[in-house]
């Protein structure tokens, strides 16, 4: 069920909306293979009518099930938009769609959630990635890969001029 509010209720005073929006209503399943939206969005919003627009503002919180881009371990990250705001014009070229005197906030919320997704989800900032199985200089199998520069192999090349 989308997150709707009635313009008729805004004529007298601002309204408060709080609750949860199911993950399926956000339609974010296939946007990123390392980020999965399996939990509902929690919202706490204040909506007020301006002269020719509506202003919605408040807090959005969503738990994301992620996979680390370095080690591929699953972890959970909470995405919080504390000062979320959305200006919805009621007139003009960019006016919001009004159906039966109701406005749907879901597409506007979806857009801002997608923009706030982590670009490279990490389980922790110091994650060193997958553990290697090299035997080098007496190190046992399962030791971490050497932290040599990616350019080290090129430094060994002897090019003739």
pLDDT band at residue 149 under the 50/70/90 scheme: confident
In a domain, 54, yes or no: yes
Q: Which helix (H) or strand (E) holds 114?
A: helix 106-116
Lowest mean pLDDT among 29-33, 67-71, 108-112, 113-117: 29-33
* Rounded percentage of the chain residues whose pLDDT exceeds 70: 88
pLDDT tens digits for range 94-107: 899 999 999 999 99
3-class DSSP state for residue 27?
Answer: coil
Mean pLDDT of 52-79: 95
Count: domains in the chain: 1
Q: Among 86, 24, 19, which Cα is nearest to 57's? A: 86
In a domain, 112, yes or no: yes
Domain, as residue range, for 55 = 4-116
Lowest mean pLDDT among 22-31, 65-74, 96-105, 128-137: 128-137
pLDDT in the model for residue 141: 45
In a domain, 80, yes or no: yes
Q: Among 40, 45, 44, 6, which Cα is nearest to 21's? A: 40
CA distances from 106 to 63, 73, 130 (A): 17, 31, 38
In a domain, 12, yes or no: yes
CA distances from 49 to 46, 84, 116 (A): 10, 17, 26
Q: Tell me if 4 sits within 8 A of 56, measured CB to CB.
A: no
pLDDT tens digits for range 108-139: 999 999 999 999 999 999 998 887 534 444 44
pLDDT in the model for residue 51: 87
In a domain, 152, yes or no: no
Reply yes or no on whether the pLDDT at 140 is more than 50: no
What rounded mean pLDDT belongs to the chain?
Answer: 86
User: pTM for this structure?
Assistant: 0.76
In a domain, 42, yes or no: yes
Q: Among 98, 91, 103, 94, which Cα is nearest to 48's? A: 103
Mean pLDDT of 136-147: 49
pLDDT tens digits for range 46-61: 999 998 999 999 999 9
In a domain, 142, yes or no: no
In a domain, 134, yes or no: no
């Amino acid at each position: 069920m989308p997150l709707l509010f009635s313009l008729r209720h805004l004529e007298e005073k601002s309204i408060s909306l709080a609750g949860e929006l199911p993950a399926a209503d956000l339609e974010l399943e296939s946007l990123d293979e390392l980020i999965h939206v399996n939990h509902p969005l929690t919202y706490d919003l204040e909506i007020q009518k301006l002269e020719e627009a509506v202003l919605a503002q408040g807090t959005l919180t969503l738990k994301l099930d992620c996979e680390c881009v370095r080690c591929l371990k699953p972890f959970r990250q909470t995405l919080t938009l504390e000062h979320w705001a959305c200006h919805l014009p009621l007139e003009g070229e960019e006016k919001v769609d009004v159906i039966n005197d109701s406005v749907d906030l879901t597409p506007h919320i979806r857009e801002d959630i997608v923009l706030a997704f982590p670009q490279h989800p990490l389980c922790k900032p110091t994650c060193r990635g997958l553990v290697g199985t090299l035997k080098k200089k007496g190190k046992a199998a399962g030791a971490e890969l050497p932290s040599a520069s990616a350019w080290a192999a090129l430094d060994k090349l002897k090019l003739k001029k």
